[in-house]
Amino acid sequence: MRLLASSPVRIAASVMGLVILLHFLATFTHDGYARATSLQRFTQSSSETSKSVQNPSIPPSHDIEPLPGSEAYPSSSYTRVNATFVILCRNDQLWDTMRSVREIEDKFNHKYHYPYVFLNEVPFTEEFKYRLKTMASGKAEFGLIPRDHWFQPDWIDEAKASKSREKMQSENIIYGGSLSYRNMCRFNSGFFFRHPLMEKYKWYWRIEPDVHFHCNILFDPFRYMEENNKIYAFTISMIEYEATIPTLWGHVKDFVKKYPQYVAKNNAMGFISDDGSGDRYNLCHFWSNFEIANMEFWRGEAYMKFFEYLDSQGGFYYERWGDAPVHSIAASIFAPREQIHFFDEIGYEHAPYTHCPKEGDNWEKGKCTCRPDNNFDFDGISCLNKFQNFMKS
């Protein structure tokens, strides 16, 4: 019995001795094994784990490796610019809005946590608010647009306006028969930056439901705008449908003649008027479904007088003036040209058009998913070449 009891002990001791012997042999003969099993490695790992537990707001180091050509995630001391995303959307656009927010979070905002303002002409549903709050890494606020900021003013001649809508619809002009589209264009031209939820912010980045961001954004565009004294930025520029704005330029010229003091020196008139004199509008504008801009410019005296003058002409309803040409004309006339910026780095798609980075190594650095050869920049109705050539002149 004593022999049987002691045999397992002797066997275990022999196995343990063999394991220790093999460990020492491997340590001296295989450098990789020695490094992997060193005491220093285990104590270092324990220290990093302890730090992560002590400060759970900072992810483990392997989760914050910098993207190629970029800085690491902003530190806890990073100060965001006074800025917000703004999204005009409806309750039935919940999932399209979710996809847009998911993409800007993945490509940029998961590192910076800028807030969002969602605006609607009717109250958002509880489900809409819950799901977007879940998706957003920054604060999400939901605002109701004041009635007089959205709906057609009472002084508009509805018979004249409806006749115009019917004519445009019969001519197959996009959104030609839509009253809600006209409401949206007027709101985006003169009211969104005055909404109570927007008043506390200086900068905004406009995003729409069901848009796509194709590249990692390796910098903070808001900070770039502020530090470089920009007021307006875009990714896509194109020609406007002339049938939607037949009298707009005439009213612009009338305003400039009446208020010449608002015209900026070294402005970008040469981009929107081919002869640079402002006699004729060449229809070029920045596509405003993507824009990053300084709301102090829109809130300023020059733009507010400009918008109020245009609004009083009724062209948002008697024709189909868009916020894109209104913003573009204002930025081109009332701001110095160097304050307008093109973001090649930001790959952006609003169907059916896509801007795909093409300058230098922007496509590679951003790990973009867009096809460089499927780029609206090269389209016949793109105004980007005109803008870039003008800026070089």
Q: What is the separation of C-alpha 130 from the centre of its chain, rounded to a whole number of angstroms?
A: 22
Residue type (1 letter), 78: Y
Q: CB-side exposure of 227: number of CA atoms within 13 Å?
A: 8
Q: Are 231 and 331 in contact (CB under 8 A)?
A: yes
Name the catalytic one among 291, 319, 345, 349: 291
Separation between Cα atoms, residue 106 and residue 366, nearest integer Å:
12
Neighbours of 271 (CB within 10 A): 26
Which of 230, 278, 220 lies closest to 254 in space, CA to CA?
Answer: 278
199 is catalytic: no
For the chain, the C-alpha Rg in angstroms (whole number) is 29
Q: Which residues contact 285 (CB under 8 A, 6 or more apart)?
A: 237, 238, 239, 240, 272, 322, 324, 325, 327, 328, 329, 383
Neighbours of 29 (CB within 10 A): 9
Please list the residues that pair with 119 across neighbouring strands.
Answer: 88, 143
For residue 355, report the phi and psi dihedrals to the nearest 5 degrees.
Answer: -100, 125
- Cβ contacts of 127-136, under 8 Å, gap ≥ 24: 127/94, 128/91, 128/94, 128/97, 131/94, 131/98, 132/94, 132/97, 132/98, 132/101, 135/98, 135/101, 135/102, 135/105, 136/101, 136/105, 136/109
Q: Tell which phi-psi region holds residue 144, choosing left (phi > 0), alpha (psi between -120 and 50) or beta.
A: beta
Residue positions annotated with a catalytic role: 291
